[in-house]
Amino acid sequence: MLADCFFVFFSSFTALLLLRKLAKRIGLVDVPCSRKQHQGAIPLVGGLAVCFSIVQFFYYNPEWIRHSNFYILSIAVLTVVGAVDDKFDVDFKLRILLQGGLSVCMMALVGLELQSLGDLLGLGAIKLGFWGYLITILAVIGAINAFNMVDGIDGLLGGLSIVTFGSLALILYSQGQENLAYALVIIIVAIIPYVLLNLGILGEKRKVFMGDAGSTLIGFTVIWMLLLASQDGAKAPLRPVTALWLIAIPLMDMVTIISRRLYRGVSPFKPDREHLHHTIQRLGLNPKQTLLVICFFASLCAAFGIFAEIKQIPEYIMFSLFILCFFIYNFVATKLTISSKHMTFD
């Protein structure tokens, strides 16, 4: 296992260093604007490097994850399209159409779909039947865009994805699912070199961004792993409600932001600076402090999910607490957004 981790880390790190030079030559870079306040043109190669190392590992080790060939093809397609979007700014409708089409193929070709929501209401397991197809499509699109939306400050996408993958790996390992847990560790190792460069730990001149190529890859991988873990009938190692706690912050942030945009009558995919990380920074915290605060609360939510899963706390209690947390989050986030804007204007 250590040898595999070293190989994946080295592969990802090397790919980052090589691709960042190529990216500058072809203009695959992120330049500052009104919404992006970084310094200089930053190569958008994090997703390409992570995809390369993950695809390479699972191509030669397909036994670690079910339906590995389809998973490899899916993240490769998403990463390529994401890279094209990073370069040419593809219309969001086309991206949503691709994500929806990919989820349909996932259900049709490998049979991976949401079949049950578990006992969310305390009245027995909620079987989705035909509605499972629609909800699966929404879940795939939602997960991809939830992780895309949190990619707003250095380290945040990488940090939140590591929290989710690490928490899921701990649950799976505790339930005897060593193979899938090991696959998640490999994915985390592939992401770590990106986090190091993204945070500027190896120098600001080597900084890279993930880009849409990386955020879509991570979002799809999250929903893929959660479906594998939770939709396997009675022997599933993860209850569906636990998944909500493992992706709590990205999910809550996305729902809150989209609801605000719809209320204002604008496109739910129109970029703005009202995400949680923007709001916290306007209150006076610097980017690294904001990163620590958000990852801390994400870890608290994930820790509760792990505890509740291991202790088998009833699903309806977990779901009720999640809904309560969401309303608290929505209320606090809205108040903070209003307060921070007043502070900015003053």
Reduced to 3 states (helix: H, G, I; strand: E, B; else coil), residue 1 is: coil
- Among 81-95, 222-236, 239-253, 288-302, where is mean pLDDT lowest? 222-236
Cβ pair 231, 198 in contact under 8 A: no
Residue 34 has pLDDT above 60, yes or no: no
Backbone angles phi, psi at 70, to 5 degrees: -70, -40
Distance CA 209, CA 83 (A): 12
Residue 35 has pLDDT above 70, yes or no: no
Distance CA 237, CA 289 (A): 35
Show the tokens assigned to 285. 């915290």
Residue 37 has pLDDT above 60, yes or no: no
**pLDDT (mean) for 21-40:** 76
Show the tokens assigned to 87. 């370069």
Q: How many domains does the chain have?
A: 1
Residues 6+ away with beta carbon under 8 Å from 75: 51, 54, 55, 217, 220, 221
How many DSSP H helices and E strands does the chain contain?
13, 2
Distance CA 24, CA 303 (A): 40
Range of the domain at 318: 2-345
- pLDDT for res 342: 60
Per residue in 149-203, pLDDT (tens digit) is: 999 899 999 999 999 999 999 999 999 899 999 999 999 999 999 999 999 888 8
- Of the pLDDT bands very low, low, confident and very high (cuts 50, 70, 90), residue 263 is confident
- pLDDT for res 41: 85
Per residue in 91-119, pLDDT (tens digit) is: 888 999 999 999 999 999 999 999 999 99
Residue 313 has pLDDT above 50, yes or no: yes
Q: What is the pTM of this model?
A: 0.93
- pLDDT for res 346: 45
pLDDT, averaged across the chain = 90
- pLDDT for res 91: 87
